[in-house]
Amino acid sequence: MARPSLRLLHCADLHLTHSAWDASIATLRALREVATQRGAEQVLMAGDLFDSSKQPDAFSDAVAEEMAQFPVFVAAIPGNHDLLYSRSDPDPFGRLFDQLGREALAVTDEAGACVELAEGRMRLWGRGMPEHTPENDPLAGLPLLDEGGSWRVAMAHGYLMDAPNGRSSPIIPRRHRAALGTYDYVALGHHHSPHRLDFEGTLLMDSGSASPIVGHGSYAIVDLEESGVRVELGELPTSQYRRMR
Ligand SMILES: [Mn+2]
């Protein structure tokens, strides 16, 4: 049976920071506008929401207030910049998703977890990030999914590469050939420029950084359709931030 089409807004590497408070909130607002105007039915944030864990609670609360106004559900995974590198660091990522409650979901299980989203029209696999090292495989434990009548999407934060090259959090598709073959789309984060890889029929896509400060404000509108997965890249209107660089 044909699955009804599903439109996603995939973004990553927002690098929100209190030191660029207004630009950070403006980034979220611009993404919210895109989600609304383009009729996205699900938002995916593929890691590095925050620029570092050293964010005051008032800032993560301002981020939560903005994200609570998104028109659709947001699912996220942490990236290396969301990790706590010291026990005394605040945990803005954890605090944010605690505050959002049922309005959003962060997959932080280091063993990986598969969740049903978009009223059961999509299954999303994601995994928390135990460490950002060459040994950390962001797709570790990626399960083979049966067809099951819904779209199958994975989300991961790390560098897409053909073979280990010493960089941390390597995403090496051939290591996960069998499992990847059961997914329709893989939403990646970490690489600040958009990049797509068609791997044996599965599309792996870096949306690029949605931050206009560290990136180019890029995002991807993803249409999951039985005739194929279509991706359209866009850029947030960044003129309002340029003076802040
Ligand atoms: Mn990163």
Kindly give the distance from the C-alpha atom of residue 221 to the centroid of ligand 1, in angstroms, as a whole number. 21
Domains of the chain as residue ranges with CATH: 6-242 (3.60.21.10)
Q: How far is the CA of 78 from the centre of ligand 1 (A)?
A: 9
Q: Determine the Cα–Cα distance for residues 111 and 107; give it in Å rounded to an integer.
A: 10
Say if residues 210 and 13 touch (Cβ distance below 8 Å). Answer: yes
Q: What is the pLDDT of residue 1?
A: 74
Query: Residue 101 is which amino acid?
Result: G
- How confident is residue 213, by pLDDT bands cut at 50, 70 and 90? confident
pLDDT, tens digit, for every residue of 99-120? 999 989 999 999 999 999 999 9
What is the Å distance from ligand 1's center to 193 Cα?
12
Alpha carbon of 169 to ligand 1 centroid (Å)? 9
pLDDT above 70 for 243? no
Rounded to two decimals, what is the model's pTM?
Answer: 0.96
State the distance between the two ends of the chain, measured CA to CA, in whole angstroms.
50
- Alpha carbon 11 to chain centroid, angstroms: 5
Which strand ranges, in their side-by-side order, compose the sheet holding 42-46? 104-106, 74-77, 42-46, 6-11, 218-225, 228-235
- pLDDT in the model for residue 125: 98
What is the token pair recorded at 221?
Answer: 């509108």
| Overall average pLDDT of the 87-108 stretch | 95
Q: How far is the CA of 160 from the centre of ligand 1 (A)?
A: 12
Distance 158 CA to ligand 1 centre (A): 7
Residues with CB under 5 A from ligand 1 (ion): 48, 79-80, 190
Q: Partners of 116 in the beta sheet? A: 123
